[in-house]
Amino acid sequence: MSFSTPFKTAAPLASTLTQTVPLLAQVLQNGQSLNEALAHTAASDLAQKAAVQDLAFHTLRHLALAQALLKSLVNRPLSPDVQHLLTIALALLAAEGNKESLKYPPHTLTNETVLASLNCENGPRVKGLVNGVLRTFLREKQSRLVAALRHPVARWNAPQWWIDGTKTAWPDHWQAILDANRLQPPLTLRANRRVNSRAEFMDRLIQEGHPCEALGPDEAVIVNKPRPITQLPGFTQGAFSVQDEGAQRAAKLLDVQPGMRVLDACAAPGGKTAHILELADCMLTAVDSDAARLKRVIENLQRLQLRAQTVHADAVHTRDWWDGELFDRILLDAPCTASGIVRRHPDIIWLRQAADTQRLAKIQQALLQALWPLLKPGGKLLYATCSIWPSEGSQQIDAFLQRNPNAVALNAAIQLLPLSSKLENHDGFFYASIVKS
C-alpha cells in the first residue's frame, strides 16, 4: 500500500487501521522509530492521530504474539500491507481486557479490518482471506493462544537475545521487567516549583477534573486518565513538564547550587536541563548533536521561561564547542540502548540489535573520557543512562574508575528497574555520581 493511497472508506476504525499499517511498515521494514513515523502520519485531525498512535503502540506491545498467531493461521506468502493489517487486528483480538482491545468488539473489528483490506494491494482479492483468517482465530482463539504462548518470544514480546540478556542481568526480576515492558506507562508530570508547588499543581488538576496522585517525595505527579498535555491546566504558563519519575531523579542527584557552571551533555529533549534550572539559578550549557532535538530543548525552555546556552555539537569533540572554562557539575545523559524505557517506546525492543549494546558502550566510554577533563577538582559528574544493561551502567563506571585515579564514586550507584509497582511506577535508569579529587 502506498503511503499516499486515499482512503476508500470513511468508517473511523477502518481508516485508523489503514493509517496504522504504514507506521508499522516504517518501524519493522525501514527501521524508523515510531515517533518519527508518527510525525508524518496522514491522520486528518488530533483525535484520529491519537487513535492511530494508540493502535500502533498497542500492536508493538503485542507484536510477537500477533506474528506467531498469524504464522499459525496463514501458510502462504502475504504482501507486507496485508501482513501488517492482520498483525494489528490480531494484536487487538488476542489482548483480552486491554484498554485498546476493549474499544472494539471482536466482530466489529473483524468487519472493519476486512473493509480496510480494500486499501491493500489487490484489495478485492485479499478481502476473503482477511475475513477467513480473523474468523478462524475467533472460533479457535483459546487453543491458538495456548499454542502461540508456548514460545518465549511470543510470551514475553521480545527477541530471544533480549530475553536472555534480561535473565542474565536480573535473575530475580527478569519476568517482572519483561511484563512491565508490555504495560502502558502512566502520564507522569513534573511540577515546576518556580511556578507552583506539587500540592498547588495537583489541586488545580483536581479542580479542573483531572484526578491525579503524587509519586515519590518531590515533584512527580501521575494523571490517572492520560490526555493530551496541552489540555491540562497550566501548560502554556510552564506549570509542569512531562517527565518520568525515574528521570526526575537526575537533577536532584546532580546537586547544583546557585551560581555554578553546569554542563548538560546530550541534553535533548531537555527535560533534565529544565529541571536543573528549576531547582537552582546556574549558568547551564546544553549540548546536543541533533539539531532537531536541540530545537525541542529551546522550545521547552521558552515555555518554562528558563534560560540556558544551547550548543549544536557532538559533546565528545570538546575542541569544537568548549570555551576552556571548567564546570562545577556535568550531567552526562549518555546515548544507550534505552532498554529501560520500553514501556514508553515499544518499538525499541524491535529496533535494537544485540550488537548495539557493545557499540553504544564504546560511545559512552568515549564521552566519559572526553568530558572528565572539563570538570573542576571537587566537581561532580553524574553519569546517567535509561538502560537496564550492566554494560551500560555498573560495568561502564567500574571501568572508568579504574582508568581514572582522580575519579571517586560518591555513594553507591543507583539502578532503577522498570517494575511498574504502585510505589515505584517509573522507567529503568542507571545513575552514578563521580567526584574529581
Find the mean pLDDT for residues 327-331.
Answer: 98
Find the mean pLDDT for residues 177-204.
Answer: 96
Give pLDDT, residue 363. 98
Distance (Å, whole) CA 270 – CA 284: 12
Give pLDDT, residue 289. 97
**Residue 246's closest CA among 291, 180, 303, 178?**
180
Element (H, E) at 381: strand 375-385
Element (H, E) at 223: strand 220-223
The percent of residues above 90 in pLDDT, for the chain, comes to 87
From-to residues of CATH 1.10.940.10 in the chain: 12-156
Q: Is the pLDDT of residue 2 over 60?
A: no
Residue 81 or residue 49, greater confidence? 81
Find the mean pLDDT for residues 359-377.
Answer: 98
CA of 298: how far to CAs of 57, 112, 172, 267, 295, in Å?
A: 28, 43, 42, 11, 5
Q: Beta-carbon neighbour count of residue 36 at 10 Å?
A: 14
Q: What fold does the segment set 245-436 form as a domain?
A: Rossmann fold (3.40.50)
pTM for this structure? 0.93
- The two beta strands, 187-191 and 220-223, are antiparallel
Confidence of residue 48 (pLDDT cuts 50, 70, 90): confident
Give pLDDT, residue 292. 93
Q: What fold does the segment set 12-156 form as a domain?
A: N-utilizing Substance Protein B Homolog; Chain A (1.10.940)
From-to residues of CATH 3.30.70.1170 in the chain: 186-243
Give the architecture (CATH level 2) of 186-243: 2-Layer Sandwich (3.30)
Give pLDDT, residue 4. 30
- CA-atom Rg of the chain in angstroms: 23
**Catalytic site residue from 120, 212, 266, 386:** 386
Lowest mean per-residue pLDDT among 48-52, 173-177, 248-252, 261-265: 48-52
Tracing cell 531547582 back to the chain, one arrives at 279
266 is catalytic: no
Confidence of residue 350 (pLDDT cuts 50, 70, 90): very high
Q: Is the pLDDT of residue 121 over 90?
A: no
Find the mean pLDDT for residues 341-354.
Answer: 96
Q: Is the pLDDT of residue 98 over 80?
A: no
Q: Is the pLDDT of residue 46 over 80?
A: no
Distance (Å, whole) CA 356 – CA 162: 11
Q: Is the pLDDT of residue 1 over 60?
A: no
Give pLDDT, residue 124. 86
CA of 353: how far to CAs of 26, 187, 333, 337, in Å?
A: 17, 28, 21, 9
